[in-house]
Structure 1
Amino acid sequence: MHHNNARIQIFRQAISDFIENRRDEKLKGKADDPAAMRKYDYAIWLEDAARRVGQIHAATHIAKAIHSSAKGSNLYIKPDSLPQREEIGSHLLGENFDIDVVGNAAALDVFKFLKTKVEDKTLLAWAEAGDPDFKAALSENPDQAEEWLSSFAGLLSSDKKVQSHALMKQLYWLRGEDPTQDDQYILLQPLFPSALVNYVHQNIQAVRFGESNKEARSAFSKKEASELVYQEYKKLAVQRLGGTKPQNISQLNSERGGVNYLLASLPPRWKGKRRLLPLNCKSALDVFFKRPDVYGQVDKLIKFLKSNPPDNLNTRQYRQRFEQKLIESLVDFAATIKAEMPVGWSREDGCQLPPYERLWLDPERSLFSLRDDSDEADQIFYNEYMKGDWPDAVAQNFGRRLNAKLKHQDIPVGETEYIHWVRQVTIDAAWPVPWRRRV
């Protein structure tokens, strides 16, 4: 077999660069430990990698995203080998898709190694194609090289025996005429389409945080002419998979910090005018109390308290209904801002809100700390969010302002009422923010 020596050298260089970088990353301060250094010898590391690659599997559809304890099969199916349908699905990805990986997280460095690119293709793709120069670069012993190459290519082989599991959401669909006959049903087994979800996630991230859309958004808000296309995803929800250990679900889920976007499956509702939003003001609660519905509720409460109602159960229930409506309006106010403002809006120069209100109304900004280009302000924001003191600060500010409005109308309120308002307030915080309530 004719080998291209220059090309073999390119493969060798790429492999040894990866191993050296891995060594430097892992052995900070241990460079004088010969036993530790020896692990990163070219042949020794490759042999170990070829052994460990069996602990992980490539996948495009994964079971654990449906339920973290599901033991069903994960599938690796090339999108362009799927039936081409009219509906949106994994088949639309063609050759351009990210491979997901499941299995032992300790072996994920082998996958990183196989993602290394030579001549615009990954080592995994060269292994799958049985490239002779890549094989020759692995080892001078042809049998050894053949064995390692097939081990690496084996990452892409699906389970021999495909099986389901009790924890996977299964749906039997009647395809015949007679619902009393078992054989008239087919089992629909929706597997989580990880490669497709990742593609959608990258698109949404580009719209929410990308430079081009940022410029378009700025032109849109300043009413300036622009050639750029402005995109927006309204009313997104986030489903977090894997809790504090997103790598337990899969590699791509870990790269997303466990975040999986859910699109709003709702028809659009056209609004006549933009709601009041907390920009260029010192506190979002100024805006909240100016909202017509809230202003009306507070006005009714004042009139009711001024009418000197008798101190009985009816009065208490009547007052509680007012309070409940007011608190519901506060929850709705926060939800509206989160839905209408782009994530990270509290970083803008126009935002003058105190830190605890930024944490309350722009909580997903805490995910910025996971990005490669995050800065110190993002890290501080994340730490403050996780510390969890901010819901109390919001509740206390609400209590102070409501008391002040009542006092202004000569209604005698003090510490007792303040404590009562603070305790009523419901602030929506994503777990695992610690819950404290200090008055």
Structure 2
Amino acid sequence: MNEETESGARSNRFRTTIAAFIEARREAKLKGKDDDAGAASKYEYATWLADAARRVGQIQAVTHVLKATHPDARGSSLHVDPATLPRHREIGSHLLGEDYAEDVVGNAAALDVFKFLKLDVDGKRLLDWMQAGDADLMAALSPDSKLAKAWMEAFASLVREGAKPATHPMAKQVYWLVGEEPQDDSQYHLLQPMFSSSLAHAVHADIQDARFGDANKEARQAFRDKRPSDAPYRDYRNLVARKLGGTKPQNISQLNSERGGINYLLPSLPPPAWQADGRSSVSKRESVLEVFLWFEDVRRLTRALSDYLLSVQDKTGNKDIRDARDDLIKKIAEQLALFGVAIRGRYPAGWTRDGDCRLTRCERLWLDPERTELPLRDDPEHPEWKAGDEAFNAEYDHGDWADEVATRFGLWLNAQIRKAGLVTMALPELNHWVSHAIVDVAWPTPLRRRAKVEEIA
């Protein structure tokens, strides 16, 4: 097929797609009114395109919608390509990248023009082809090249910015101090937070998929039946639905109308905290590792490591196997560090001085480091208290206890793997587990811990 033939075929695809859309609009609007010749004439190909090119000026493609703040706000909405936004660690519109939904604001009666411009031809929207000035699309619009070009420019103007962005009394505004003198009004910037409709739409789609998607339904049922499932199970709890636009959500924006006016609000919660229960009480245990298995994600990760090692035990070790194994060990070791932080946060400094504390010495040093900053207990009736505090401080400064904690972690992990059916875990494996242990130490020591045993009992 030569270029001229291919160009004609593309132009025909454009025209066929446009004509089918206009015909569908005609059938929907004139159902039961076949004798209304005047109304039917509005849906002739050239007539409808001319009217659509006129009406496109009544709407605007945006990503941030002002009326979502207040329906009577009359200021500017904005179109900001998420890919151009600063890259922050926090969740925001910048994470949408190039895969984002454009919203439309303006006269709701002209929203059919946006639906027209979203028609897909050869993998791209008509709007994209309009903005690119595609010659085949121009030929499909009208044999009059000047008229076709004018229509294309009009349609391409759907994405535009006003000459000067404007705010409105109904828009929320915040005075932000940018100088050093809060008494000086000139040292404030007036900020107007904007509602990111594109981000709200992406969040809404993910929540709807989690609530009603077939894959998550199956995973949820498996969770309820306590059956294994390969699919992840997602659940959004404590949601609040903010309804925008009342009975006319289209007056806010097109995407708001598609969401039925519903915009989900996630709960504002503090970071999750480990909830103590009967198994997690540590003060009267000989080792905190007795309850480590029940901390957050440890049990799942330990089981995953055991299952993986069982699945590859008959294979010759290679880099991929070692990397996969070490990735799981690293995640368990990270849980060990978080576990230490959680324990230290639950007890006041010096809690290991209590006579009921049965933890091993190294674990006391690990989990009660602020004890070293307390005054020595100088009680004539209990001289052993002062001696004990001095010995504790000296041992903490020496630092060997960190390797002892890491070794206990390695022995614990070995025991978990043995329970799963692997009986070949020996000294090399123990040293490997120990080297990954993350134990907080207040003074510089080697990052990789060393085992403090010569053999495994």
Common fold by TM > 0.5: yes
Alpha carbons of structure 1 residues 205 and 111: separation in structure 2 relative to 1, 3 Å: same
For residues 329-360 of structure 1, the C-alpha deviation after alignment (integer angstroms, 9 at most, x for no partner) is xxxxxxxxxxxxxxxxxxxxxxxxxxxxxxxx
- Work out whether 1:135 is the aligned partner of 2:129: no
For residues 57 and 238 of structure 1, what CA distance do their matches in structure 2 show?
A: 26
- Work out whether 1:15 is the aligned partner of 2:38: no
Partner SS for 1:261:
strand
For residues 209-237 of structure 1, the C-alpha deviation after alignment (integer angstroms, 9 at most, x for no partner) is 11111000000000011101001111111
Equivalent positions of 1:29-428 (< 5 A) are: 29-267=32-270, 268=272
Which amino acid in 1 is paired with 2:263?
N
Partner SS for 1:156:
coil
For residues 49 and 114 of structure 1, what CA distance do their matches in structure 2 show?
A: 10
Aligned-residue offset at 1:271: 7.9
For residues 108 and 255 of structure 2, what CA distance do their matches in structure 1 show?
A: 12
Aligned-residue offset at 1:86: 2.3
Aligned-residue offset at 1:95: 1.3
Alpha carbons of structure 1 residues 152 and 269: separation in structure 2 relative to 1, 3 Å: same
Partner SS for 1:4:
helix
For residues 158 and 146 of structure 1, what CA distance do their matches in structure 2 show?
A: 21
Alpha carbons of structure 1 residues 54 and 263: separation in structure 2 relative to 1, 3 Å: same
Q: Can you give the 5+ residue segments of structure 2 that lack an aligned partner in the other structure? A: 278-457
For residues 56 and 30 of structure 1, what CA distance do their matches in structure 2 show?
A: 29
For residues 406-436 of structure 1, the C-alpha deviation after alignment (integer angstroms, 9 at most, x for no partner) is xxxxxxxxxxxxxxxxxxxxxxxxxxxxxxx
Which amino acid in 2 is paired with 1:102?
V
Alpha carbons of structure 1 residues 253 and 270: separation in structure 2 relative to 1, 3 Å: farther
Which amino acid in 2 is paired with 1:80?
A
Which amino acid in 2 is paired with 1:261?
Y
Aligned to 2:450: none
Which amino acid in 1 is paired with 2:262?
V
Give the TM-score normalised by structure 1.
0.60
Which amino acid in 2 is paired with 1:77?
V
Partner SS for 1:127:
helix
Give the TM-score normalised by structure 2.
0.58
For residues 97 and 131 of structure 1, what CA distance do their matches in structure 2 show?
A: 23
Partner SS for 1:57:
strand
Which amino acid in 1 is paired with 2:171?
M
Aligned to 1:289: none
Aligned-residue offset at 1:272: 9.4
Q: Is the Cα–Cα contact under 8 Å of residues 74 and 159 in structure 1 kept in the other structure?
A: no
For residues 137 and 210 of structure 1, what CA distance do their matches in structure 2 show?
A: 39
For residues 66 and 162 of structure 1, what CA distance do their matches in structure 2 show?
A: 16
For residues 165-207 of structure 1, the C-alpha deviation after alignment (integer angstroms, 9 at most, x for no partner) is 1111111111211112233222221110000110110001000
Q: Is the Cα–Cα contact under 8 Å of residues 68 and 242 in structure 1 kept in the other structure?
A: yes
Q: Is the Cα–Cα contact under 8 Å of residues 80 and 93 in structure 1 kept in the other structure?
A: yes
For residues 173 and 78 of structure 1, what CA distance do their matches in structure 2 show?
A: 25
Partner SS for 2:263:
strand
Which amino acid in 2 is paired with 1:78?
D
For residues 103 and 276 of structure 2, what CA distance do their matches in structure 1 show?
A: 44
For residues 243-296 of structure 1, the C-alpha deviation after alignment (integer angstroms, 9 at most, x for no partner) is 1111111111111111010000113477899xxxxxxxxxxxxxxxxxxxxxxx
For residues 254 and 42 of structure 1, what CA distance do their matches in structure 2 show?
A: 28
For residues 159 and 47 of structure 1, what CA distance do their matches in structure 2 show?
A: 24
For residues 149 and 212 of structure 1, what CA distance do their matches in structure 2 show?
A: 42
For residues 231 and 276 of structure 2, what CA distance do their matches in structure 1 show?
A: 25
For residues 220 and 211 of structure 1, what CA distance do their matches in structure 2 show?
A: 14
For residues 270 and 100 of structure 1, what CA distance do their matches in structure 2 show?
A: 41
Q: Is the Cα–Cα contact under 8 Å of residues 14 and 118 in structure 1 kept in the other structure?
A: yes
Which amino acid in 1 is paired with 2:105?
V
Aligned-residue offset at 1:84: 2.3
For residues 97 and 26 of structure 1, what CA distance do their matches in structure 2 show?
A: 31
Partner SS for 2:260:
coil
For residues 271 and 209 of structure 1, what CA distance do their matches in structure 2 show?
A: 31
Alpha carbons of structure 1 residues 210 and 271: separation in structure 2 relative to 1, 3 Å: farther
Partner SS for 2:19:
helix
For residues 144-178 of structure 1, the C-alpha deviation after alignment (integer angstroms, 9 at most, x for no partner) is 00100011001101212201111111111112111
Partner SS for 1:172:
strand
For residues 51-88 of structure 1, the C-alpha deviation after alignment (integer angstroms, 9 at most, x for no partner) is 01111111100111001111110111111122222222
Q: Is the Cα–Cα contact under 8 Å of residues 12 and 138 in structure 1 kept in the other structure?
A: yes
Q: Can you give the 5+ residue segments of structure 1 that lack an aligned partner in the other structure? A: 274-439
For residues 34 and 220 of structure 2, what CA distance do their matches in structure 1 show?
A: 50
Which amino acid in 2 is paired with 1:97?
Y
For residues 64 and 270 of structure 1, what CA distance do their matches in structure 2 show?
A: 42
Kindly report the root-mean-square deviation, in angstroms, between the aligned alpha carbons of the 2 structures. Answer: 1.8
